[in-house]
Amino acid sequence: MPWRFSPGIEQLDYADLDGTIDYHRLQCELETAARLYRRVMLAMLASLFVPVGIALGLNLSGSIFFALILGGLGASTSVAVLGSFRLWGSSRTFAVLQSAIHEEWKTGRPVLPDWFQVPATYRIPRAISKPTEFEIKRMRRAKLATSDRFALFTMVAIVAGLPISFVLAFSGVSGITLALPVLIPGLTVVGALVLMSRGASTLRLLREYEKATGREVLPQDLR
């Protein structure tokens, strides 16, 4: 993720903040935002998969099946939008944390207090080491996940299954068979993203490190 959770933020210069940061308050606000993020993610998953589970569990078909599925998609999207607005309020808090850690990257000296704990949700390490050959290979594979070609393939693979599911639904087919045309490509894409997530996270983090410090740690093809 870079880190798992990094809302769009303004860039702050640590020199403008030095001596003004209340680190106890900063940690409390970071933990509050991290909890909100986890709740938003759980709500999104629940609003999407509960209607799907009901539709499949009751062996529904036709318009009722798709009404539940579309309702789940709509509810999940609504939760994502509302959650994004709520999380935007924590953007400056994360910007303060980011400026302090960038300062540690640049100078090599501790800025945050020894007792300060960055919530794991953010996944932003305070020290950066040069990537190993294994990590570089993993990042090259993960780079595919951020490409326009992969995004287009993902959209086509999932959307292409919808007409097939519609035809099956109105042909009297019910249950899990209805979901297979969407589930198979969808789960394949999700599985690929999960496998590449660690490499993609490392790649984004190291790009951020290079931008913040001016030091080069990535091969040219990964910048």
* 171 and 118 together in one domain: no
Dihedral sign, CA of 49, 50, 53, 55?
negative
The tally of domains found in the chain comes to 2
* 99 and 136 together in one domain: no
Q: Looking at 126, 144, 179, which one is the last position of a domain?
A: 126
The predicted model gives 81-87 an average pLDDT of 84
* 68 and 145 together in one domain: no
Nearest Cα residue to 203 out of 133, 143, 134, 126: 143
* 115 and 192 together in one domain: no
Q: Looking at 92, 111, 126, which one is the last position of a domain?
A: 126
Using 50, 70 and 90 to split pLDDT, how confident is the model at 193? confident
Residue predicted with more confidence, 138 or 176: 138
* 109 and 154 together in one domain: no
* 24 and 133 together in one domain: no
The angle formed by the CA atoms of residues 200, 203 and 209, to the nearest 5 degrees, is 145
* Paired tokens of 88: 């935007």
* 2 and 104 together in one domain: yes
Q: Which range of residues forms the domain containing residue 101? A: 1-126
The predicted model gives 184-196 an average pLDDT of 77
- Residue 186 amino acid letter: G
Q: Tens digit of pLDDT for each residue in 14-55?
A: 878 878 889 999 999 999 988 988 898 889 888 877 887 777
* Residue found by looking up tokens 């569990």 in the block: 57
* pLDDT value for 174: 65
* Averaged confidence pLDDT in the chain: 80
* 1 and 84 together in one domain: yes
Is position 223 within any domain? no
* 15 and 83 together in one domain: yes
Residue 3 has pLDDT above 60, yes or no: no
* 108 and 145 together in one domain: no
Q: Indicate yes or no: pTM above 0.75.
A: no
* pLDDT value for 122: 79
Q: Looking at 75, 100, 126, which one is the last position of a domain?
A: 126
Is position 222 within any domain? no
Is position 221 within any domain? no
* 114 and 145 together in one domain: no
